Amino acid sequence: MTDGIRALPLLTRHFYFLRHGETESNVRGIVAGSTDMLLTELGHAQARAAAIKLEHRGVTEIYSSTLRRTRDTADYFAHALGVPLTIIPELEERRWGDLEGKPRNLRVPGVTPPGAETPEEFNNRVLEGLSKINARGAPLIVSHSGVFRVLCRTLGVAEPTEQIANAQPAHCVPPDPQHSSWRIEML
């Protein structure tokens, strides 16, 4: 990690990450990106079940992107856990430009579609959003699979080969005397 990354207040403690519940774009295998998508019935059920999983884990505050699928997911946690919810626009999914609304298999690794954010722009935006989290307890970030990949790179943890599952809580644990690096425990 660079000194700039170490300076992120979030990286001084353990925290939780959760990708939003299922959306129609997930079901259909299309790129949603910055397009606002609603949760499916299953997505709502996933969010409720995940809130129960984190009920006794000491979550003290919640941070979400502005997109409806994350806000709706985060609302279940805010109500179930009785903790404040803060919206951070920089935690939105990558803007995929001309690829939004098209099949996910049209994405070409290493190629930025017209109108899309470059990987560097996306990474920098997400890091800016993460820098706004100055939690004193155990925060929960409700966001997107692309944001989770940036988070993994930032923590020095291997990126998943597949997308993180919808509404799958992840516990991000800092180095300690038994572990020399960050680790992510899927709950």
Instruction: Kindly state the tokens that stand for 157.
Output: 């943890």
Structural domains of the chain, count: 1
The pLDDT of residue 5 = 53
Domain range for residue 16?
3-186
Q: How far apart are CA 98 and CA 92, in angstroms?
A: 17
Q: What is the CATH number of the domain that holds 33?
A: 3.40.50.1240
pLDDT for residue 120: 97
Based on the residue annotation, tell me whether 144 is a catalytic residue of this protein.
no
**Active-site residue (options: 22, 61, 93, 117):** 93
H helix intervals, 65-144: 68-81, 119-131
- Tokens (6 digits) for 85: 């919810």
pTM above 0.85, yes or no: yes
Q: Cα dist. 44→13, 16, 56, 142, 154 in Å?
A: 29, 19, 20, 14, 29
Q: Check if 79 is active-site.
A: no
Q: Which of 52, 39, 134, 42 is nearest to 86 (CA)?
A: 134
Per-residue pLDDT of the chain (187 residues; tens, 9 = 90+): 444 455 689 998 999 999 999 999 999 999 999 999 999 999 999 999 999 999 999 999 999 999 999 999 999 999 999 999 999 999 999 999 999 999 999 999 999 999 999 999 999 999 999 999 987 899 999 999 999 999 999 999 998 888 899 999 999 999 999 999 999 999 9
104 in Cβ contact with 29 (< 8 Å): yes
* Predicted local confidence at residue 69, as pLDDT: 98
Which tokens belong to 11? 């990286």
Given 20, 22, 61, 144, the catalytic residue: 20
